[in-house]
Amino acid sequence: MIASMETHLTISDQPALGFVGAGKAGTTLALAFSAAGYPVTAVYSRTASHAERVAHETGATICTSPADAARFSEVLFLTVPDDAVVSVTHNIAQAGGFRSGAAVVHCSGALPLDVLNEAADRETLTGFFHPLQVLLGASSIRQLRGAAVGIDGGLDLLPVLRTMATDLGATPVDVRDDARVPYHIAAVLAANYPFVLLAAASDLMQAAGISEECSLSSLLTLARGSLSSIEALGPRAGLTGPIVRGDAATVARHKQYLREHQPALLEVYRALGLLVLESAGDSFARGRVREELER
């Protein structure tokens, strides 16, 4: 039985939180906020086991609908796929879940605030809260400390979201609607692309006769060294390798191998190589590399 709450709420210092969606992101945030002292009062998920896990860890009540989760929280987090935000908002609005004095926040990095217009029409505060970190569940909670969190909202809600981010040990960063897409592209490039590049690199190492275990260990050590150089010198000063040195013949050999053995990687290699040149700046030697990459 869900305890009744006032119809009209004002956002308190540590508001009662509800979650619609209890996948990796929703679970991480629910557990992180609970650990920071926030009451997590309601959770809804289409996957019952996910809702049960969050409820078990936080004491939240499992709700039978998104509208119930909205009714029994001061700040409702929509931690659902981007394509579902509008439909979930519509369903809650039609069921009368939104009310004046409460807030609803989406966590979709590229979406504007107007996807929550049906909530705003009912005088519910609307906002954006997007941790710039890989969220995989309970194991990710500690990674929120020191991470940036993109936030947006009206004048009443923005200070609340800023405090909530700070209470997680994170750094709030204002990201307005017109900046959301480049912000999210940056997040995708930094968080997702290294996975596939390291997987492709591991495959190439194994093609060279090196074991999978050794390949991954060696490449992770190399990647960590690169990240350390970026941290110390910045993303451009630490660049190394044949493209930066202007070794056009080596680049040609790389292209030939990829053309024969990994053709799907050839365009990736070429496109990223041109980006390396943009970062490093052209020289006479690098001009030959550019010609080779564009050939």
pLDDT score of 109: 94
Question: Residue 65 is inside which H or E element, if any?
Answer: none
What are 186's two structure tokens?
A: 């940056």
Q: Which residues contact 90 (CB under 8 A, 6 or more apart)?
A: 118
| Residue 255: exposure state from Cβ atoms within 10 A (0-12, 13-18, ≥19) | middle
Render each residue's pLDDT in the chain as its tens digit; 295 residues: 333 333 344 667 789 999 999 999 999 999 999 999 999 999 999 999 999 999 999 999 999 999 999 999 999 999 999 999 999 999 999 999 999 999 999 999 999 999 999 999 999 999 999 999 999 988 899 999 999 999 999 999 999 999 999 999 999 999 999 999 999 999 999 999 999 999 999 999 999 999 999 999 999 999 999 999 988 988 888 888 999 999 999 999 999 999 999 999 999 999 999 999 998 886 777 889 999 999 8
Residue 10 has a pLDDT of 61
Buried-exposed string 194-229: b where 16+ CB fall within 10 A, e elsewhere: eeeebeebbebbeeeeeeeeebbeebeeeeeeeeee
Contact 128, 113 (CB under 8 A): yes
In 137-241, alpha helices (H): 158-167, 180-191, 193-207, 212-233
Transcribe 69-106 into DSSP letters.
Answer: HHHT-SEEEE-S-GGGHHHHHHHHHHTT---TT-EEEE
Res 86: pLDDT:
98
C-alpha separations of 98 from 41, 78, 88, 114, 252 in Å: 16, 13, 12, 15, 61
Q: What is the pLDDT of residue 281?
A: 80
